Structure 1
Amino acid sequence: MLRIIGIDPGSRMTGYGLIDTDGVHSVYLSHGVIKLSGEPLPPRLGEIFATISGLIQEHQPDVMAIEQVFVAKNPSSALKLGQARGAAICAAVYRGLSVAEYTPTRIKQAVVGTGRADKAQIQHMVQMILGLRQKPQADAADALAVALSHAHTHTTLMRQSGRGK
């Protein structure tokens, strides 16, 4: 089994989701949202790093999958998002994990079947794929979708290399 922690970075809320996959089935483990205070950015980045580092230590994932920064209309928002990603990636590297990065379009394509899916469609498909009783909060659903996208990509690569079923 491959254990994946998926991250949906944000400077106000960062979603995370953990799954196990055997290449055919993915099993839900945990999800949540790191809600960050209105403090200046540096303490929020520290909180992202510390919380994700703690999650990695607790759950022992094999890899981190994280959403790539998209081009935002507001350059300041894009920079803050990039810094939040950096804090999460640093936590993974600090804990010895490799990091896989996926575009929002690729994640939506892997989970919903279309790169133009909206948040509600992602939440619904994550709920269905993982058999959750309730729809996860949007940021956590996005993080689980990132993890599912990596599970799909990993399985495809294993099959292409002849190591998969």
Structure 2
Amino acid sequence: MNRERILGIDPGLRTTGFGVIERQGRTLRYVASGCIKSNADDALPARLATLFAGVSEVIATYQPVQTAVEIVFVNVNPQSTLLLGQARGAAISALVHGGLPVAEYTALQVKQAVVGHGKADKEQVQAMVVRLLNLPGVPGADAADALACAICHAHAGEGLGLIGHKVAGTPGGKLKQAGYRIRGGRLIG
């Protein structure tokens, strides 16, 4: 059975979390995780360049074949949302520049895939990441969110992850293509 390396990204301007896992069949194995930090004293273009270079270095080091990025929603502060979107763009640009496919998941989808419900808090996500990957300790919040995003993508072929994973030119996305439907809030094969 082939092993597949998946890189998850939790974008942020100050701190971008990354998590790398391997999937072999239904087995997930932790590879690496951490954070890419930009200097708050630097101008925005320099901070974005730091994030781009950091994600590019993670790609070169761990050689993933799949990537998953958390989708950012509008916050209360529009300026913060704009900055976060630019950080996300720098991360996605590095992934695309590295020749990798990019899947996108909402925080709700990631939490549902990892914890079982979309209203989970950060501590619950961290605890489930530890359990699912059999980690000896608890990763930081940004790294745990990135690992959770990678786990969500790893399960994309097994039900829940398919919901957010669209295939271009296919109405209904991958679910319809795979012969699944949603009826009454339930996934039907």
- TM-score after normalising by structure 1: 0.93
Deviation at 1:154, TM superposition (A): 3.1
Picking from 46, 58, 63, the partner of 2:61 is 58
Deviation at 1:70, TM superposition (A): 1.3
1-side partners of 2:158 and 2:19: how far apart? 19
1:103-162 C-alpha deviation (Å, 9 max, x unpaired): 00000000000100000000100011001111000000000000000001134469x849
Contact 2:37–2:51 at 8 Å: present in 1 too? no
Q: Where does residue 147 of structure 2 map in the other structure?
A: 144
Q: Where does residue 43 of structure 1 map in the other structure?
A: 46
Deviation at 1:36, TM superposition (A): 1.6
User: Comparing both structures, which one devotes a greater share of its residues to helix?
Assistant: 1
Deviation at 1:22, TM superposition (A): 1.9
Contact 1:23–1:152 at 8 Å: present in 2 too? no
How many aligned residue pairs are there? 162
The letter of the residue matching 1:7 is: I
Coordinate RMSD, CA, aligned: 1.7
Picking from 7, 13, 22, the partner of 1:5 is 7
Per the alignment, in what secondary structure is the counterpart of residue 148 of structure 1? helix
Deviation beyond 2 Å, 4+ runs, structure 1: 154-158
Q: Are residue 82 (structure 1) and residue 115 (structure 2) matched?
A: no
The letter of the residue matching 2:5 is: R
Which stretches in structure 1 are left out of the alignment for 5+ residues? none
2-side partners of 1:14 and 1:23: how far apart? 28
Q: Are residue 92 (structure 1) and residue 95 (structure 2) matched?
A: yes
The letter of the residue matching 1:63 is: Q
Q: Where does residue 132 of structure 2 map in the other structure?
A: 129
Contact 2:6–2:66 at 8 Å: present in 1 too? yes
2-side partners of 1:23 and 1:123: how far apart? 23
Q: Are residue 104 (structure 1) and residue 139 (structure 2) matched?
A: no
Contact 1:23–1:154 at 8 Å: present in 2 too? no
Query: Which shifted more, 38-47 or 135-144?
Result: 38-47
1:39-93 C-alpha deviation (Å, 9 max, x unpaired): 1221111011001111111111001100001121111111111111110111011
Query: What percent of counterpart residues are identical?
Result: 53
Q: Are residue 21 (structure 1) and residue 44 (structure 2) matched?
A: no
1-side partners of 2:28 and 2:101: how far apart? 20
2-side partners of 1:131 and 1:70: how far apart? 30
Deviation at 1:7, TM superposition (A): 0.2
2-side partners of 1:92 and 1:137: how far apart? 22
Contact 2:55–2:91 at 8 Å: present in 1 too? yes
2-side partners of 1:68 and 1:56: how far apart? 20
Larger Rg: 2
